[in-house]
Amino acid sequence: MTHQPFARKYRPQTFDDLIGQPHITATLTKALEAKRLGQAYLFTGQRGVGKTSAARILAKCLNCEQGPAATPCNRCSSCTQITAGSSLDVLEIDGASNRGIDEIRILRETVPFAPTGGSFRVYIIDEVHMLTPEAFNALLKTLEEPPAHVKFIFATTAPHKVPATVLSRCQRFDFRRLESSVIVNTLARVAKTEKIHAEEPALYAIARAADGSLRDAEVIFEQLASFVSGAMSEADVTALVGAIESETLWALSQAILDHEVPKALAALQGQFEQGKEAAQLLAGLLRHLRNLLIVASTRQAPGREALLLRLIDEPADHLKRLEDQAKRSSEPELLMCLQALSGAYDLIRRSPMGQTILELVVIKLASREQWQSLSEISRRLEQLGALPPPPSSTAPAGPPLHRPNAMPQAALEAVSPSHEPSPAPMPSSAEMTSPEALAAQWPVFLERLGALKMSLAAYLAEARPLHLEGSLLTIGLPAFALHQEVLTVLEHRRLIERLLAELYQTTILVQYATLPEPAEPSAAPSAAESSAAPPIVQDIVKLFNATILDQPPRTA
C-alpha cells in the first residue's frame, strides 16, 4: 500500500475534527443548521492551521446527500469524491499559478453550469491574494451576485493584499495560530496511533519549531520518525531542525546570571562550532530569559500553575527548573538583560559581525556588577539616616536603573550630618557648560531615559558627559563598538536629544567620543583615613565600596 503522509492521513474530515479553531467551527455549524449560507467566504490565517481543510469540510457539508448539513456523512458518493479530490462540483484553484485575468474569465464561463451531483458548485481558491488586480476586477460582479447554486471559498495567508472590494463581499473567518499545548496533544495522539515512542520534551521542541502550524508539526514529526531509531528525544529534534538545545540555553543563561564570563563564552563557542547562527542563539536566549521573567513575575498570581502552562511552551518538569533558576535573580535584573538583548537583536540580523556582537552583549551582561535598584539604595540610605524619603514629585516612574560605580551628586551633598539635605539647584545658563554641572544632571537624565527605554540607559550607564559647546553635547563612551552602533541609530539619537533638551531647557545635539582606558585604581584609603571620617560617611563608603577623595575639615 502506498504510504500516506501524516498531514494527509490525519486531515480533519468534519468540523468536530478541526483542531484549535472553535470560534470558526461553531459559527459555520450554526449557519449550516439554520440554512443561513453566505455567497462567499474568506478564510485567513498563517500556514498549516486548517484553512483549506475547513474549506473542503464546508464543501462536503453543502453537497452531502443528507444536507446541507452541519456534519457530513463521509459515506455518500459526493462526500467520498470531495475527500478524494475528484468531485466535479468542487473546483480547487491555486491562486498563485492561476492568477491572471484569462483564468478568471474561464472560471466565469463555468459559473452558470448547474452542479452534476450535489446541490452546489463550490469554487475554492487558495492563496487568493496572488490574483492580479485585473483578475480581481473580473471576479467582482460574479462574486457579488453569483447564481444560487454557486459558493466561493477563498483562503489566504495575506488578507491585507486582498482588495477591499472583495473583502466587503465575503464573510471573513480568521484562523488562529495553534498553541503549543494543542499541537503537543495532537502529536501525542498520532504517536500513539502510529506506535511511535516520543518523549514529551521532543514534542514541545517540535511544536516550537512549527511555530503554531499543525501541518508543519506533523511534517517534522513524520521526518523524525524516519530519522530516529527508538525513542524520539529533544536532542533528535534539535539535530534535525537545527534548533538550540534546552540544556545549552540553561547553561548559557546560568553563566550570565552567575557572572561567569568564561562559561558563557564557552557555551557560545560550542554552538558556533556546530554551525548555529548568532541570531538563532540570541532568539533562544531571549525566549529562555522571557520564561524566567514570567516565572518570577507570577509568583503571587492565582491559578499560577495553569497560567504558566498557557504562557510557557515547556513540559511540566522544565517549569520546576525554571522556578529554581528564577530564584537566583530578580525581576528588574531579568528585565534589564532582556532589554539589552532585544536591542542587539536587530543589529545582529543586519550585521556581518553577528557573532562578535552577541559575544560583546553576553560579556557585558555576564560581567555586570551586582544589581541594586534605586529603591533598594534609597531604602538602605534612609536606614543610615543619610537621605529622607524621596518626594512623590521626583523623576517619572519607570524600571530602576543600574549605574555601576556611580552615585548621584545630590546624594553626596546630602550626607553632611549637621545640615538638612536640600535639592541641588539647576545650573544657570552660564554654568551649564561646566563638567560639574553636566555631571550633576546626568543621573536625572539616565533616570528619565530608563523610564522610556531601559536598554539605551544601560548602554549609557558607563558613559559620561564631557563638555557642552553651544548646543553640541559631547558624551564619552567606553571603547566598545556595540555602544557606538546602538547609540548612533537615528531614533535612539533623537530620543536622547529630546530628553536632554527637556532637561537643560534648550536645544541639544549630541556627538560621541571614546573615553580613554581607565587608569589603575588607586590604593584603598588607610584605616586611619576612613576612621577620621564621620560615621555616616564610613557607612556609605562600606555600602558603595567608595573612595574618599576630599575629607571635610573636622570641627572642634
pLDDT for position 166: 93
The three cell numbers locating residue 212: 503554531
CB count within 10 Å of CB 344 equals: 27
The three cell numbers locating residue 235: 536532542
Contact partners, residue 54, CB within 8 Å, separation at least 6: 15, 18, 21, 24, 25, 28, 43, 173, 175
| Angstrom distance (rounded) from CA 200 to CA 237 | 12
Q: Divide the 556 residues of the chain into consecutive groups of 10 and give the mean pLDDT of each group.
A: 83 92 94 91 94 94 88 91 90 89 89 88 94 91 89 94 93 93 93 91 91 93 87 88 87 91 92 89 92 90 85 85 87 87 85 89 82 57 54 45 42 40 45 65 83 81 83 83 79 86 84 73 49 60 60 50
| Angstrom distance (rounded) from CA 30 to CA 143 | 23
pTM over 0.75: no
pLDDT for position 464: 84
| Angstrom distance (rounded) from CA 382 to CA 414 | 12
CATH architecture for residues 180-241: Orthogonal Bundle (1.10)
* CATH (residue range 246-366): 1.20.272.10
| Cβ proximity of 366 and 255 under 8 Å | yes
Give the domain 6-174 fold: Rossmann fold (3.40.50)
Q: 306: exposed, middle or buried (C-beta count within 10 Å: 0-12, 13-18, 19+)?
A: exposed
pLDDT for position 10: 92
**What are residue 313's phi and psi, to 5 degrees?**
-85, 65
Q: Would you kindly state where each structural domain of the chain is located, as residue ranges?
A: 6-174, 180-241, 246-366, 428-516, 523-556
| Angstrom distance (rounded) from CA 402 to CA 443 | 11
DSSP code for 191: H
Closest CA to 246 of 202, 297, 213: 202
Is 3.30.300.180 the CATH number for 428-516?
yes
C-alpha distances out from residue 440 to 138, 373, 390, 407, 500, Å: 70, 20, 17, 10, 13
pLDDT for position 398: 43
Q: What angle do CA 433, 438, 440 make, to 5 degrees?
A: 140
Residue pointed to by grid coordinates 571614546 = 514
| Angstrom distance (rounded) from CA 40 to CA 27 | 15
Closest CA to 49 of 24, 74, 79: 24
